[in-house]
Chains A and B, each alone.
Chain A
Amino acid sequence: MNINLTLIGQAISFTIFVWFCMRFIWPPVINALEARKKRIADGLADADAAKTERERAEQEAQQTAGQAREEASRILAQAERRASEIVAEARTTAKTEGERILTQAQEEIEKNTQQVREQLRGEVATLAVAGAEAVLQREVDAIDHADALEQLAERL
């Protein structure tokens, strides 16, 4: 085991190799590793952000849908209310109209009845007189018996 110049030669080679390593090998590889690490971290962060964004959009969509549903039911209720209002209104109108027609008809009937009665009254008086004349075979003074005829006509 002799110690000789090899010792110094090896020290020199070691120094040169380490220098080369430090200058040309370590930095590019470690930089590439760092860059890739950063890229992966960025990618993961992006994915996270996208996930959050999607959740937010989903929530928003749900909210919008809920609002639309609410609006629809509101409109439906309104329409129903309006419809029942219209029905009620129509019913009232019809009732009034009916009553009006009824009244008119009744008035007409009344008037006709009256008319007929008047007519009848006249005719009955004549008939009664004629009848009485015929029955009694005697002349009845229409003027004398007007009261009695009037009474008779009243009873019709």
Chain B
Amino acid sequence: MATEYATGADYIKHHLTNLTFGQYPDGSWGFAHSREQVEAMGFWAIHVDSMAWAVGLGILFLALFGHAARRATEDVPGGFQNAVEQIIEFIDGTVRDSFSHRNRMVAPLALCSFIWVFLMNLMDLVPVDWVPWAFSLAGVHYMKIVPTTDPNVTMGMSLSVFALVLYYSLRRKGIGGFLGELTLHPFSAKNPFLKALLIPINLFLEGVALLAKPVSHGLRLFGNLYAGEMIFILIALLPLWAQWTLSVPWAIFHVLVILLQAFIFMVLTVVYLNMAHDTGEH
């Protein structure tokens, strides 16, 4: 496929551009036809491909699990129900291990993060040219099918988790407790003057630590998948007969990466929420 493009750089650029719908600088709305147009649209634009694949995969996940959940019985489970139960028990065990409070939202949240992120990551194993080529036949120029290679998607999820972290921190500890956590640690002093002096230092350290969580949470997933996708694109630039020698090993290795990154994303979600629930009184 790479031969259709003037240079390898063009090919890579094309494969890393989302199908974007947004407002042109002149005020009208429409799809961007080039990378420059995408840049010009700024914040008021939406990656139609990321959103469509993400929502589609999310609905696939909910449909599959909803199907199993609707027919869940305590009798002998069928094959599919058994598989779903295995996954749910695995998630339940992981949540029990790392979340020590009572909150009936955390386990479903973990399940949703794990399976949804896994499905989105799984799209990385679809050969990089198939879907974009099929869509180009239909006249759609850009099509990125791996939503987790879009930082908007991963950050959207990690910021949602961050919002929950802030909500539960405030609810469990109160404003005073939360501010105390941000300002009186890690350096503390008995002397009130010294204590006041240490507040900005603590606030800086704790603030950075707090803000680093959603950023690292989202960018870790994005970075891993983006790098994987990039390598698949680079392999696709090789002559056709040589591609499989690299793409097959990388795909096999990548199976591990997509599973592991989905798992890490879930575990971090649970751990951050656990930290938000910890009041420091044990």
Tell me, in angstroms, the Cα distance from A27 to B22 when the chains sit together. 40
Instruction: State the A residues within 8 Å of B (CB).
Output: 1-11, 13-15, 17-18, 20-22, 24-26, 28-33, 35-36, 39
Tell me, in angstroms, the Cα distance from A46 to B104 when the chains sit together. 32
Tell me, in angstroms, the Cα distance from A39 to B104 when the chains sit together. 23
- Per-position contact with A for B37-60: 1 when CB-CB < 8 Å, else 0? 011011111110011001100100
The answer to whether B66 touches A5, judged by C-beta atoms less than 8 angstroms apart, is: no
The reply to whether the CB of B270 lies closer than 8 angstroms to some CB of chain A is no
Residues of A within 8 A of B282 (CB): none
The answer to whether B160 touches A15, judged by C-beta atoms less than 8 angstroms apart, is: yes
Choose one: A6, A11, A26, A29; the contact of B46 (CB below 8 Å).
Answer: A6
Instruction: State the B residues within 8 Å of A (CB).
Output: 18, 20, 22, 38-39, 41-47, 50-51, 54-55, 58, 61-62, 65-66, 68-70, 72-75, 84-85, 88-89, 92, 104-105, 107-109, 111-112, 116, 147, 150-153, 155-157, 159-160
Chain B min CB distance to A99 (Å): 93
Residues of A within 8 A of B150 (CB): 6
Residues of B within 8 A of A7 (CB): 152, 155-156, 159
Closest to B87 in A: A29
The answer to whether A26 touches B42, judged by C-beta atoms less than 8 angstroms apart, is: no
Tell me, in angstroms, the Cα distance from A24 to B88 when the chains sit together. 13
Given A9-B156, A28-B70, A21 and B108 touching (CB < 8 A)?
Answer: yes
A sample of 20 inter-chain contacts (CB < 8 A) reads A2-B39, A2-B41, A2-B43, A3-B155, A6-B50, A6-B152, A10-B51, A10-B147, A13-B54, A14-B156, A17-B61, A21-B112, A22-B104, A25-B65, A29-B65, A29-B84, A30-B88, A30-B92, A32-B74, A33-B88
Is chain A's binding surface mostly helix, strand, loop or mixed?
Answer: helix
The answer to whether A5 touches B43, judged by C-beta atoms less than 8 angstroms apart, is: yes
Closest to B84 in A: A29
Residues of B within 8 A of A18 (CB): 105, 108-109, 112
Chain B min CB distance to A6 (Å): 4
Is chain B's binding surface mostly helix, strand, loop or mixed?
Answer: helix
Residues of B within 8 A of A31 (CB): 72
Closest to A3 in B: B152
Chain A min CB distance to B131 (Å): 18
Residues of A within 8 A of B159 (CB): 7, 11
Given A17-B62, A25-B65, A10 and B112 touching (CB < 8 A)?
Answer: no
Tell me, in angstroms, the Cα distance from A25 to B81 when the chains sit together. 12
Chain A min CB distance to B229 (Å): 13
The answer to whether B69 touches A10, judged by C-beta atoms less than 8 angstroms apart, is: no
Residues of A within 8 A of B58 (CB): 13, 17
Tell me, in angstroms, the Cα distance from A38 to B65 when the chains sit together. 23
Tell me, in angstroms, the Cα distance from A33 to B42 when the chains sit together. 48
Residues of B within 8 A of A5 (CB): 22, 43-46
Chain B min CB distance to A44 (Å): 15
The answer to whether B54 touches A22, judged by C-beta atoms less than 8 angstroms apart, is: no
Residues of A within 8 A of B112 (CB): 14, 17-18, 21
